[in-house]
Amino acid sequence: MSETALVDRRWIERGAERASTMRFLLWLFPWVCLLLLGVYAAGLCFYYGLNQTNMDNRFAFGLWIFLDLTVIALGAGAFFTGFLVYILKQQDLKPVLNSAVVIGLTCYSGAVAVLMVDVGQPLRAWFTFWYPNTHSMLTEVTFCISCYLLVLVLEYIPVLVKNRQLRRVPSFLVFEHQAHKLVPVLAGVGAFLSFFHQGSLGGLYGVLRGRPFAYRQGFMIWPSTFFLFILSAIAVGPSFLMLVVATAEKITGQKLVDFRVYRKLGFISGVMLAIYVAAKAIDTYVWLNVTSPSMGFGPWDYYSYWPLSSTFLFTATVPLGLLPAILFIVPRTARHRGLLLLAAALTCCGVALNRFVMTVQTLALPTLPFDPFLKYTPSWQEVATFGAVVAYGVIVYSLSYRYLPMFEAMKGE
């Protein structure tokens, strides 16, 4: 790689191999376009109102809420990896810790940005803090996510100021030196906060007594929605982290982490997933036979609508839950990089499907006896905003990879 091709080499870690500046810009270009399109769509929503979307009084929650829940589950790798490294002292996961922080930061900040577009009155966002309803799961989610975003920003700053040029500012370097010692505290607080909001996101639907599909009675809200959501988030976090790092390796053509790290992440994911599938099976059994009938709804009623037949229930748990768990845990399959990454992808899809079922499907199913099964297709503005969040994540990760020491293996010569 000729020196002149790296116009921004002063900003790049010494000795690190990077694509030429032109190639990097070409890589960024489509993502920036996608981001700008999404920003424009969001602008339309701010200016004209939420009638720009295809949400309505029956689908009060749509694509964006699905995006929020999914992206927050995928970003759970941030808190969980931090917890594993700093609290449980699993030092062999350190190489992917910075990646996890970047993924977490983009996931959470992206989710908050979309939430600001999703609510009818974004300028009133402070109302939740000023008039909190401590009985509402959404209050808990709001507080937790705001605090946790702050934690992620503080965890990202030491990574950011290690940039080759930024570290030349003495105050930045000294702050990084001091902040480094504090990261375990942040990891602990982050784990505490994440535990609660991951669970509360499930609890959001578990409390809806008007939605028998999602409702869990009384104390059962806790194991059925709260803990199940935490479990699935912990299961998918390492998987998504693996996928992102593997994608980065593929795109950059560089080996960034040892395969053992993938196997460890996969094993953790697999164990969590196995526990989740077992717990979910119990929960589903109880809900089918006890909860739902007690509210006057025959459970198989839910699955007689096309395309949501019982295949859906099967799809959520077996190919996207049990199968990846097996692939992760059984040594013969876990040894293969391809199968490991396939399992990670299946896990991510499974959790996304679970979030979809809890949000969109819950709303589609009729509650009043004379209501039809409803359908909803997101508008282009909603899809564009979704795309913008994905683009934002790719751009931030790409920039972080290029200019910051994300992987310890990248040190100098």
Partner 1 sequence: MSARYGMVIDLDRCTGCGACMIACAAENNVSPPEPRATWRTGITPMVVRALSNGKDGTDRREAFIPITCMHCEHETPCVSVCPQQAVEFDKSTGIVMQMPQRCLGCRYCMTACPYHARYFNWWDPQWPPGMEKSLNPGVSVRMRGVVEKCNLCHSRYHDALQKAAAAGKKEIDVADYVPACVEACPTGAIQFGDLADPKDPATIAAKSPDAFRLLEAIGTEPKIHYKTTQAWIRALADRQSDRPTEAPHV
Partner 2 sequence: MFPWIDGFHWTPTHIIFLSLFGAALSAILATAAWGLWRTLGDFRKHLAAATCWRENFGELPAVEKRCRHELAGRLPSRQCDHAFDCRTCPNYDKFAALPANVPASRAGVSYSDNLLYHRGHTWVRGDWDGTFAIGLDEFAKHLVGSPESVKLPEVCDEVESEGIAWTMIKNGHKIRVRSPLAGTVISTGGPDSDFYLKILPHSQPNLRHLLKGPEVAGWLAAEVDRLQMQMSKGKATLADGGTMMPDLMDAEPGSDWDAILESTFIDR
Contact residues toward partner 1 (CB under 8 A) are: 49-51, 56-61, 118-121, 124-125, 127-128, 131-133, 135-139, 142, 204, 207-212, 294-298, 301, 304, 362-363, 366-373
Cβ contact 407:256 at 8 Å? yes
Instruction: Residue 356: name its binding partner from partner 1, partner 2, none (Cβ under 5 to 8 Å by kind).
Output: none
Q: If residue 277 lies in a helix (H) or strand (E), which one and from where to where?
A: helix 259-286
Burial of 179 (0-12, 13-18, 19+ CB in 10 A): middle
How many residues belong to the chain? 413
Tokens of 137: 């799961």
Nearest-CA neighbor of 207 among 194, 193, 222, 192? 222
CA torsion 290-295-297-302 (nearest 10°) is: -80
Q: Among residues 185, 251, 282, 318, which is the contact residue for partner 2, using CB under 8 A?
A: 185
What does DSSP assign to residue 7? T
Per-residue string for binding with partner 2, 144-173, x by CB under 8 A? ---x--xx--x---------x--xx-xx-x
Considering the rule CB under 8 A, would residue 143 count as an interface residue with partner 2? yes
Nearest-CA neighbor of 237 among 200, 198, 275? 198
Question: CA separation (Å) from 332 to 20, 273, 310, 336?
Answer: 40, 18, 32, 8
Instruction: Residue 307: name its binding partner from partner 1, partner 2, none (Cβ under 5 to 8 Å by kind).
Output: none
Residue in the block written with tokens 């509210």: 295
Instruction: Residue 40: name its binding partner from partner 1, partner 2, none (Cβ under 5 to 8 Å by kind).
Output: none
Q: Which stretch binds partner 2 (CB under 8 A): 89-97, 98-106, 140-148, 345-353?
A: 140-148
Instruction: Residue 58: name its binding partner from partner 1, partner 2, none (Cβ under 5 to 8 Å by kind).
Output: partner 1
Q: Which stretch binds partner 2 (CB under 8 A): 18-26, 179-187, 322-330, 340-348?
A: 179-187
Tell which positions 78-137 bind partner 2, by CB under 8 A.
130-132, 134-135
Q: Which residues bind partner 2 (CB under 8 A)?
A: 3, 9-10, 14-15, 130-132, 134-135, 139-140, 143, 147, 150-151, 154, 164, 167-168, 170-171, 173-179, 182, 185-186, 189, 192-193, 411-413
